[in-house]
Amino acid sequence: MKYNSTTDKNNVVSASQAIAQGIASDGGLFVPQEIPMYTLSDIEEMTKMDYVGRAKKILADYLDDFSADEIDECVTKAYASEKFGSNNPAPLSYQKYDDIDINVLELWHGPTSAFKDMALQILPHLLTKSLAKTAPNKEAVILVATSGDTGKAALEGFKDAAGTKIMVFYPVDGVSPMQKRQMTTQEGENVSVCAIRGNFDDAQTGVKKIFTDKALIDKLAENDYLFSSANSINWGRLLPQIVYYFSAYAELVNDEKIALGDKINVVVPTGNFGNILASYYAFRMGLPINKFICASNANNVLTDFISSGTYDKNRSFYATISPSMDILVSSNLERFLYHMTNENDKKVKEWMTSLKTTGSYSVDDETAEKIKTLFVGGFCDDEKTKETIDEFFNKYGYLCDTHTAVAVNVYKNYVETTGDRTPVVLDSTASPYKFSGSVLEAIANGETIPEDEFAMVDLLSSKTNTEVPKPLAALKDKQIRFTNVVNADEMPQFVLKTLGVE
């Protein structure tokens, strides 16, 4: 199976090239040229497999230049039970909110307590194998700009991965205290972490500049290094996310919540549109999905896009209590548009160019209608998010984080307005302990909240009678290793200095 760029169909590469390169040379994103189709009996087969078995099947169908042994090794290492606490890294938790049944898909049992682990635990394995096939004898330098969760998950995934070095840049005042602590204490010989004076966009722009800095690229090449990317535009991050939708469906069948062939709705707290796009690929592969419910926080650019067909990032940016969804340019929407226009690379290029130059674009009426028949958008602000955390916990006994709460609130409104009671899979994307301060504020009824992050974590645990994830608890005793802070324009020098290339 080959992959081509969303903005140039003639730009065609193999699976391993798509993963090694990350982004297409014309600036587009790689998409598969065919989408494998599963029948209900294929899905029935999956009900008898464990998560690793399901992942092997799906990855093998997309990565045809990987051998079965290679895929086996990647999947088995990534989803080992030591890493995710059990042999099901993506368990369902059956909850009720008012009289609404919510099947919560908990995607945060990995080493960094956020759903990014589902992809970033396997990406390093896929990437090192892809590099060995396409650029042997080179060492990969992975650069990551992060608003918190991606950086830590990438560090943890790439730590001591042979043939790689990883550097993470984060905005000095733009991440939660726990997220900062997670990154600055990171272990591993091949990792470095650097704070940027500026916001997330400054860090992201800095990384993008480095990726296209010819002089810098050449200097690295002389020393047998090449740049690569671990952010969610890489196909190697999207593909592993398709697996948990099939897995959740198989579990619902096994637990007799649905019958094989029944439709489900999915609800996804969305930022970059990667997670919800993975569910759309699952649908195209034959998973019976009725509606995709796209939940946003106050940065509701996607809600407006789904209802109007116009994407407009010229609007205020809000720093919310669900920071991993504070985003105005959802990169993976580009892949979705490519598929929704029946693979029209010209249109996608036109819209993406308009987005870059004017900050907005409008899709044609036909595409807008098509999107609306499948997708529903909704959003909620911080107040509603906290109310939802409070009610879901204090009335119904389930503790969730701020991102998940946005999804719960949007879903509850959806059911109330439409009456659609199709069984649901609702993604829970982070452990509440990653955002202890906001979660405590939501459930504490005015009680004083300690300032120290670990005191907050302990209070949350004693108040809710839930367990602190072990990797978060362990941070308290870890030494801070990285204290660098630089201006965004000093990032190239930081890279060279870290590599010992002057």
Ligand X SMILES: *Cc1c(COP(=O)(O)O)cnc(C)c1O
Residues near ligand X, by CB under 6 A: 114-116, 149, 232, 269-275, 324-325, 403, 429-430
| Tokens describing residue 378 | 């909704």
Give the separation between CA 151 and CA 169, rounded to whole angstroms: 8
Find out whether 191 and 105 touch, Cβ atoms under 8 Å: no
Give the separation between CA 90 and CA 223, rounded to whole angstroms: 41
Q: Minimum distance from CB of 226 to ligand X (Å)?
A: 26
Q: Which of 116, 180, 384, 412 is catalytic?
A: 116
User: Which is nearer to ligand X, 92 or 267 (by Cβ)?
Assistant: 267
User: Which is nearer to ligand X, 126 or 405 (by Cβ)?
Assistant: 405
User: Which is nearer to ligand X, 116 or 125 (by Cβ)?
Assistant: 116
Neighbours of 218 (CB within 10 A): 9
User: Which is nearer to ligand X, 198 or 274 (by Cβ)?
Assistant: 274
CA dist 413 to 221, 293, 382, Å? Answer: 53, 11, 16
Q: Minimum distance from CB of 326 to ligand X (Å)?
A: 10
Find out whether 253 and 237 touch, Cβ atoms under 8 Å: no
User: Which is nearer to ligand X, 113 or 164 (by Cβ)?
Assistant: 113
Q: Minimum distance from CB of 491 to ligand X (Å)?
A: 22
The conformation of residue 108, written as its DSSP 8-state character, comes to -
Find out whether 143 and 177 touch, Cβ atoms under 8 Å: no
Q: Minimum distance from CB of 294 to ligand X (Å)?
A: 9
Find out whether 332 and 281 touch, Cβ atoms under 8 Å: no
Q: Minimum distance from CB of 183 to ligand X (Å)?
A: 14
Find out whether 109 and 428 touch, Cβ atoms under 8 Å: no
Q: Minimum distance from CB of 369 to ligand X (Å)?
A: 24
Give the separation between CA 155 and CA 170, rounded to whole angstroms: 12
User: Which is nearer to ligand X, 190 or 247 (by Cβ)?
Assistant: 247
Which of 13, 493, 6, 499 shows the shortest CA–CA distance to 213? 493
| 468 φ/ψ angles, rounded to the nearest 5 degrees | -75, 130
Tell me which residue has tokens 């096939």. 133
Which of 42, 69, 38, 74 shows the shortest CA–CA distance to 55? 74
- Which of left, alpha, beta for 91 (phi over 0: left; psi -120 to 50: alpha)? beta
Find out whether 175 and 142 touch, Cβ atoms under 8 Å: no
Q: Minimum distance from CB of 267 to ligand X (Å)?
A: 12
Give the separation between CA 119 and CA 74, rounded to whole angstroms: 11
User: Which is nearer to ligand X, 260 or 355 (by Cβ)?
Assistant: 355
User: Which is nearer to ligand X, 363 or 405 (by Cβ)?
Assistant: 405
Sheet harboring 100-106: ordered strands across? 92-97, 100-106, 424-428, 264-269, 289-296, 375-379
Task: Give the largest Cα separation in the chain, rounded.
Answer: 64
Tell me whether residue 214 is one of the annotated catalytic residues: no
Q: Is 126 helix (H, G, I), strand (E, B) or coil?
A: helix
Q: Minimum distance from CB of 116 to ligand X (Å)?
A: 5
Enumerate the active-site residues. Answer: 116
